Structure 1
Amino acid sequence: MVFIFGVNFPEQNLVKRSLETFYGIGPQVSQRIMARFHIHPTAKVGELIQPKILSINAELTNMKIENDLRRHIQDNIKRLRDMGTYRGRRHAMGLPVRGQRTRTQITTARKLNRIERDRRG
């Protein structure tokens, strides 16, 4: 088992897939991190040497991921609501925010925004 940023990963996991488990790191960001530290795309976590693991940890501490990113996004939504902008009102009502169609296909947007509506009170 290998620790990366406080999370235990099995040695047979791909490095790319392991990095993508963190909230805020997608395929392109994980690919950029791996290219920066000269890690092959099919490398497994168990094959990494300790200095590379430490350098990946250092890189992840400089990024805004996991709870910091979630808090940042929630603060942005709260700021929009407090200002009373159109986007803030749409967030508060649980409706699509970015101009999607609401006449027929709104069920998906309501499902995705359900958490936000429940915290409104």
Structure 2
Amino acid sequence: MVFILGVSFAERNLVKKSLESFYGLGNQASARIMAKHYIHPTATVGSLSQKTVTSLTAELSTMPLETELKRRLQDNIERMRTMGSYRGRRHAMGLPVRGQNTKSQ
């Protein structure tokens, strides 16, 4: 088991899939992080050195991930609601926000 940001990953898991399991990290971001640390796309978590795991953890800790990112999104929606903007009112009423049709739902 290898721990990255307090989450344990099996040693046979791919590094790319392990990084993508964090909320807020997708395909492009995980590929960019792996390229920055010179990690092969098919590398497993067990093949990483302790130094690489430490540097990955240090970089990921500077990024808004998981609960911090979810909190930011909720704060933005709440800010729109209190401002009384069109999008905020749509969020408050539970209606589609981005122009979707409401007749066929």
Q: TM-score, normalised by structure 2?
A: 0.97
Aligned equivalents of 1:101, 1:38: Cα separation in 2: 46
Aligned CA RMSD, in angstroms, stands at 0.7
Aligned equivalents of 1:86, 1:55: Cα separation in 2: 43
C-alpha displacement of 1:77: 0.3
Deviations 1:47-86 (Å, cap 9, x if unpaired)? 0001110010010011000111011100000000000110
Is 95-104 or 30-39 further displaced after alignment? 95-104
| Equivalent residue runs for 1:82-101 within 5 Å | 82-101=82-101
2:44 aligned residue: 44
Aligned equivalents of 1:102, 1:15: Cα separation in 2: 42
2:12 aligned residue: 12
Deviations 1:12-51 (Å, cap 9, x if unpaired)? 0000000011111111111110011010111100000011
What are structure 1's unaligned runs of at least 5 residues?
A: 107-121
Q: TM-score, normalised by structure 1?
A: 0.84
1:66 aligned residue: 66
Letter in 1 for 2:84: G
Which 4+ stretches in 1 moved above 2 angstroms?
A: none
2:28 aligned residue: 28
C-alpha displacement of 1:90: 0.8
Aligned equivalents of 2:100, 2:37: Cα separation in 1: 40
The number of residue pairs the alignment matches comes to 105
Letter in 1 for 2:75: D
Letter in 1 for 2:14: L
What are structure 2's unaligned runs of at least 5 residues?
A: none
1:54 aligned residue: 54
Q: Kindly, what percent of the aligned residue pairs are identical?
A: 63
1:119 aligned residue: none
2:84 pairs with 1:77: no
C-alpha displacement of 1:102: 1.7
